[in-house]
Amino acid sequence: MDEFVRRGYAHPEVLVSTDWVASHLHDPAVRIIESNEDPLLYASGHIPGAVEVDWTADLNDPVRRDYLTREGFEALMSRLGVTPETTLVFYGDKNNWWATYAFWVFQLFGHRNARIMDGGRLKWELEKRPLTREKPSYPPTTYRAPERDDATIRAFRDQVLAHVQARKPLVDVRSPAEYSGERLHMPDYPNEGALRGGHIPGAVNVPWSRAINPEDGTFKPADALRAIYEGEQGLRPDDDVIVYCRIGERSSHTWFVLTYLLGYQRVRNYDGSWTEWGNLVNVPIER
């Protein structure tokens, strides 16, 4: 953790290094979780002992556009063989974009003993650390979770509209072309169904990936992050901030950066994001 203290993070304890993970591969008190955008990656090779959490199949309601229920979360945790005391370490592809998304969903159910492996899958592979295709099996547990907390770190459309009207900070973490309305989706990605392009009025554009060192996927130090979010955009740690993207996955990464690395007290992720806002009737849009 000393490395993360030196980087000046508000909560350095929420990150672990690849060295730390390598030394805890057989620690029964630790469960390593891989969560990717690419569904083939885990099967092609993963950190020994790591389990997979599929963001589509494991975290989402199969019918409604919503997350799993408390009962579904308890069943998932039982299947993963963890207890409330187990330290969960998330990592994945896309510079931990989907790992922070899974981390955020787990926080909706109050599993605070959770960490992110800095650098994710990219750094582990660059260091030529071991990967295996063997899927681990852990004895199921009896896990009890609280009801899903949709109030503290999650925002809904009516709350976003109220945020706009009150001129409170909004951060659009999509690409500049999506923000401007030039594109309805990221390059090489399908359109999720938004009928209009642009951004929520008053939102500033800070692409999520600016928080990352591209050479190894690690997070930039706190001073560099503050220069981006506070120096350039004027945000402050006591602001009431809502972040969004297209479906809430990229914005969960920025939520993690603002909340844990910079210590912001009130950051919510609008997971409806542009897929919802770009389809709503009679809401304001800027280009």
- Give the residue numbers marked as catalytic: 245
Can you tell me the distance from the alpha carbon of 274 to that of 189, in angstroms, rounded to the nearest whole number? Answer: 14
Burial of 106 (0-12, 13-18, 19+ CB in 10 A): buried
Residue 241: DSSP 8-state: E
Burial of 205 (0-12, 13-18, 19+ CB in 10 A): middle
At position 287, the amino acid (one-letter code) is R
Can you tell me the distance from the alpha carbon of 108 to that of 15, in angstroms, rounded to the nearest whole number? Answer: 19
Instruction: Give me the count of residues in the chain.
Output: 287
Can you tell me the distance from the alpha carbon of 98 to that of 263, in angstroms, rounded to the nearest whole number? Answer: 21
Cβ-proximal residues to 265 (8 Å cutoff; 6+ apart), any chain: 237, 238
Can you tell me the distance from the alpha carbon of 61 to that of 118, in angstroms, rounded to the nearest whole number? Answer: 29
